[in-house]
Amino acid sequence: MQEDRLIAKNDPFFQPVSALELARFAGVPSFMRLPVVTQDHPRFADVDIGILGVPWDGGTTNRPGARHGPRQLRDLSTMIRAMNSATLVAPFEAVNCADMGDVPPNPVDIQDSLKRVSEFIRVLKSQNIVPMTAGGDHLVTLPILRALRDDEPLGLIQFDSHTDLFDSYFGGQKFTHGTPFRRAVEEGLVDPQRFVQIGIRGTAYNLDDINWGLEQGIRIIRIEEFFDRGIAHVMAEVREIVGHKPTYCSYDIDFVDPTYAPGTGTPEIGGPNSFQAQQVIRELAGINLIGADLVEVSPPFDAAGGTAWLGVSLMFELLCALSQAIQTR
């Protein structure tokens, strides 16, 4: 995989602005310095991967701030260069990538915001544009899955320190950032037999979420098993679980140890370092990915931007994996 450069599409319009030509601190920031292509743009239908923001954290149960994630991620993404020097993937040459703008959220209405996200993603899907989403809290993944599901449930790879499989919070509230994947299974959006969670850890209210997940057939890989077995071994099992059918990847920044990612709402100690956070994504090569997200970057808890820099670096790794998937379909 590392030896094979992707065949270049290399459309000049879709190339990011190079820091060799314009300093990174200059110009209007877009995701990875790519062109901004909104739905009324004449090149909209030519986009292969659309990077979008969902600046919304209406599902947050404790420390808010992820609504500011997409803006800080855009700003820090000006540091990204065009090629992955480890895998030799050059996604901006291989496929047409663009910043699609933000889903306009409704900060006072959860259901309306979820509807808006699904509608935005459906427009992209209608043009065969693969979404790479920057959250936002983890509830934003639910409406994305609603929009992407086709004839059969999707496979799902979730990097996270929490299962997000709880039934409800606060006396029956079904839609929080701790419930999206329970809803996704119940709604038939995700096949629990092709659903794997990696990195689960931390103190617990109880084991209801984990027990429910195991009863459905979800593969839950706790952090102890992750470190005991090693990345290559674990990710080989992940690839076997999801197989070759359409699969989505959701990456919560709190999968990473808070030493490296303090800017998130619910940090848990004992996680992977920043290099290991990259490695697990590189092991997604060969999976039939139809979309991905990076969620729960909360700038108020890391105003200097280190967490956002890590987050957008992981988005670039996900972008590489998505570009590989597109070219092999």
Secondary structure (3-state) at 193: strand
What is the DSSP track for 230-259? -HHHHHHHHHHHHTTS-EEEEEEGGGS-TT
Q: How far apart are CA 305 and CA 281, in angstroms?
A: 22
Whether residue 7 has pLDDT greater than 60: no
- Identify the CA nearest to 183 among candidates 149, 159, 151: 149
- Identify the CA nearest to 292 among candidates 317, 255, 263: 317
Q: How far apart are CA 26 and CA 21, in angstroms?
A: 10
Q: What is the mean pLDDT of residues 165-184?
A: 94
Whether residue 31 has pLDDT greater than 70: yes
Helices 306-328 and 69-76 pack at an angle, to 10 degrees, of 80
- Rg of the chain over all Cα atoms, to the nearest angstrom: 18
- pLDDT tens for 136-152 read 999 999 999 999 999 99
Whether residue 250 has pLDDT greater than 50: yes
Whether residue 6 has pLDDT greater than 90: no
> What's the pTM value of the predicted model, to 2 decimals?
0.95
Which domains are present in the chain?
12-328 (3.40.800.10)
pLDDT band, very low/low/confident/very high, at 125 (cuts 50, 70, 90):
very high
Q: How far apart are CA 152 and CA 79, in angstroms?
A: 39
Q: How far apart are CA 191 and CA 193, in angstroms?
A: 5
